[in-house]
Amino acid sequence: MARLALVLAAWLAGGAAHAVDDPYPWIASAYLVKRDGVVLWAGQPDAKLAPASLAKLMTALIALERGRLDEPVTVGRGVLQATGTRIGLKPGEKLSAGDLLTATVVRSANDACRALADHIGGKSFVQTMNQRAAALGLTSTHFADPCGHDREGQYTTATDLTLLAEQVMRHDEYLRLARLERVTIRTLDGRSFALRNTNALLGRYPGVIGLKTGYTEGAGNCLVALAERDGVRVLAVLLNAPNRWWNAVGLLDRAFAAAR
């Protein structure tokens, strides 16, 4: 990862550090980088694109704002429709809402996400997501699936995702989960699931906290990366970034370097 940082830093060396510029148009279909809440660089930040599992940021936010994470949840048959990343939940199993949230954040597990969404809001959960998005001023976001599967009419922007991420960052529990490289959760009758975080920056990039990864065929590789060093926080959002790990490392490094 250190070698990747050196290589990408060299590529980025000529970029201008102004929010009005798009110094790195090859990085992603859309991206935005903030340092301590101030925009450094952005490219097509208001382009409406598929969010992939970055949609889970909203699902997690709703779960955290609702609370009651110790509440037992009976997994419904909706998990049988989950595709992509799953941990293998079975209808009828019982877990705490907090453990379902853990699997949603750490492993980006679609079956855990679906079980959590069904428990909180059932068929109206997507409506709740859109209502919360409107309340947050996410004017260019519309959800159609709680877990980020490609769906017609589902889109967001780098600008809106930055605002959503900043709201999620207010919750210490989310930050705790996002940092976990590995964790084990269990059903109430003892079946265990060993989870490994989908964020390849954890354990490799100094100061990284999270926040969320995503991939679908329609969205491509997506990432919301948060890192902190010496009290400085850098947040980077990338949508459809073919080389998201290289790109994230370079952007974070350059943002931290500009703070010195």
Active-site residue, 56 included: yes
Q: Looking at the chain, how many residues does it have?
A: 260
Active-site residue, 48 included: no
Closest C-alpha among 116, 118, 229 to residue 177? 116
Distance of CA 48 to the CA centre of its chain: 17
CA distance linking residue 92 with residue 94, whole number of Å: 6
Structure tokens at 196: 């490994």
Backbone angles phi, psi at 112, to 5 degrees: -65, -40
Beta strands in the chain (DSSP E): 30-35, 38-43, 72-74, 94-96, 182-186, 192-196, 208-216, 220-229, 232-239
Active-site residue, 108 included: yes
Express the helix, strand and coil content of the chain in percent, nearest 5 each.
40, 25, 40
From the list 108, 123, 124, 212, the catalytic residue is: 108
From the list 29, 34, 53, 212, the catalytic residue is: 53
The interaxial angle of helices 56-66 and 125-135, nearest 10 deg, is 90
Distance of CA 248 to the CA centre of its chain: 14
From the list 56, 123, 140, 212, the catalytic residue is: 56
The single-letter DSSP state of residue 27 is S
Task: Tell me if 56 sits within 8 A of 147, measured CB to CB.
Answer: yes
CA distance linking residue 89 with residue 102, whole number of Å: 14
Hey, which residues are catalytic here? 53, 56, 108
